[in-house]
Structure 1
Amino acid sequence: MFVRHPVWLQNATRPGSETFALVFAAESLSRSIISSVIPIQLLRVLGDSQQVSVLYFTASCVGMVFALFLPMIVGIIPRRWVYTFGAVGFIIAAFFLMMEDETSLVIGMIARVVGLVSTTICMNLYILDFIARRDLSRSEPTRIFYSALSWSVGPVCGALLMQWWGMWAPFAVSAGCAAVMLGYFWCLRLGGGLAITAGSRRRAPNPLSSIRQFIRQPRLNMAWIIAFCRASWWSMFFIYTPIYAVESGLGEIIGGLIVSGGNACLFLLPIWARIARRIGARKVLMIAFIVAGTGTSLVAFMNGYAYLGVGLLLIAALGMSFQDAIGNLPFMVAVRPRERSEMTSVFMTYRDASELVPPGVYALLLRSFDLSAVFLATGALMFGIVGIASRVHPRVGKDRVIDKIAAPAE
């Protein structure tokens, strides 16, 4: 007898904005549950925030190199297996990061960043394959909004699990979420048939050639810089907010609550997305970076007023959530379809660079200054990017104009 499955179940196994958003939400939960725990674990084992910055810097170096060679890997190995490799990387990372020795922490951090690179690049390629250009301005906010719950409850839940059952608990939950994400990903292949395709069999160009081609395109360069600055702020927020809470005497739980509160601003994305479609990406980006720069810079002057500093960090997070309504739209609009694999791999290095350059700079600053220098440097970066954001095409992000300003298909 024929059984008609519910509409929502059919949609949940069909490639599209909502299915990709669900995969992203599961990945976000796996990462967020340990986002406020990793800095505390590293601080306990390594001893000071300067060494924490060095380890983040080292792991990100590995991630950036891996990202540049990923097109070659995808050219040899089907994309579904590269994504699977990345998901397994999350599980391996969780296992090693719960250990109490430096070697295990190094292995865990490297596995984490390699897994993140693999899953992120592959998922962005799937989005570009299945989502029409004209729908990108709606799919990006949807994808980020679906992850809002994960990033809102994950950090504080991780801190609570650590307090109640020990350091192993949040990492075990993180590994479980990664396993669920991987299972759902494979269900998409079985349910839709076309949801997963093998990687391109044409020979991938040398990574240096891809970089040169990327640099020749000003719109891609601008998209990379904007994405790098956005990710740099969030990188600072996830790493140094828990440390700020501990060093200010607020405690680990408050650190998790701050991170969760900042991510809860993502629930405002439907409102921000509506505003963005009306005023365009350029104004949204400029407003977001100004608000974030102001709030972050003022935290540096809140010595002795920790809760006021927390309020300023949350105001800055609110500004960055406004900017997240745009997501990676400037890149997705500008990239040429025939160059998607190579250019996406280069573009996604912004994520690794955001965990490479800022911690490297902060490690140098923390040798001579206290934690306030981190907030001043990050605030200055936010103000500095406003000028570049002002060069974004005024119609990017507005309804019904993406196809008119998109890169030619060639």
Structure 2
Amino acid sequence: MSRRSVGIVMNGITGRMGYNQHLVRSILAIREQGGVPCRPGADGEAVLWPEPILVGRNEEKLAAIAERHGLERWTTSLEKALAEPDAEIYFDAQSTPLHREAITTAIAAGKHVYAEKPLTEDLAGALELSRAAEAAGVRTGVVADKLFLPGLRKLRRLIDGGFFGRVLSIRGEFGYWVFEGDWQSPQRPSWNYRAEDGGGVTLDMFCHWEYVLHDLFGRVRGVQALARTHIPERVDEAGATYTATADDAAYGIFELDGGAVAQINSSWAVRVFRDELVEFQVDGTEGSAVAGLRRCRVQHRSVTPKPVWNPDIESALDFRSQWADVPDNEVFDNGFKAQWEMFLRHVVDGAPWRFDFLAAARGVQLAELGVRSAAEGRRLEVPELGL
């Protein structure tokens, strides 16, 4: 089987997500498995072989990562990396404010672009990049990892099978307690809590909720949000106290095509009392499901119990035991890796792809409207986007 190499300029891989999920668990994992078949199921065809070219601002960290994984190509110059003869794809996992300039440079160099979300800090910037890519004839993609979680893939199976009947509502809970940094180290970088550096849970998570809702249930037509900064002071990586200028919790109501309503709470200031860090309960006329990162449980109309409200006695019903697990029925790969494989095929083979920069712009649009809704205290329409 022949090998079709694809040079990938990877910017921002010294960060947690860029390193763990994209370099190690995606690109290097694809190499370890022998590449990606160009045409799934076709014997004798070439495999796509990613060739990472590491880019970053910290020479010491880049050199250490390259040595650790036996990689020879790294540089602190984006222009030098983009000029490599085999470079076809530019990937950006930098902090959000740095996306626009770097991606613009990559598009001008004729590279296909794949990026972490949010694509930009504002809708105008996202649409500008989308139009520039369209004019340059390059293919684009944005990470939509939540859709590739085992729990949500099982949920997709239920939707496609007509399990729910008419979907009435979706209720989502996401988040965990991110330590302030004083007596325990925080699990997230300090820039997440500074609005001037592109931080904020609304900007971060509403981009996720847009593609989850859009892809599974329908386009978001209206939004009403409430954003809060529950923890006003935190301690950064150097041990210095700083003022949190970005929201650390967002409570959103989303109206969808078809009449369903989604309510999703996103918080870095909540202690977890549920089975997984993110869970979605979907209620329909024929059945309900609760999907998390890995598990998905269901209760069909035909086996729904009949509880009666009586606060004066202890309930004899064990509500959790009345739900059934949706079986795996397949081996679920790492979600980031699965989407990388799709994007590689899209770039080389023209395989179907729906997570382009216009889809990314919809996420930024919803986040922007969420911030505005919270500031103005009112519901806002979500206009349909186009180039």
Whether these two folds match at TM > 0.5 is: no
**TM-score between both structures, scaled by the size of structure 1:** 0.23
| Higher CA-based Rg | 2
Bigger proportion of residues as strand? 2
Bigger proportion of residues as helix? 1
Whose relative contact order is higher, 1 or 2, with alpha carbons under 8 Å and at least 6 apart?
A: 1
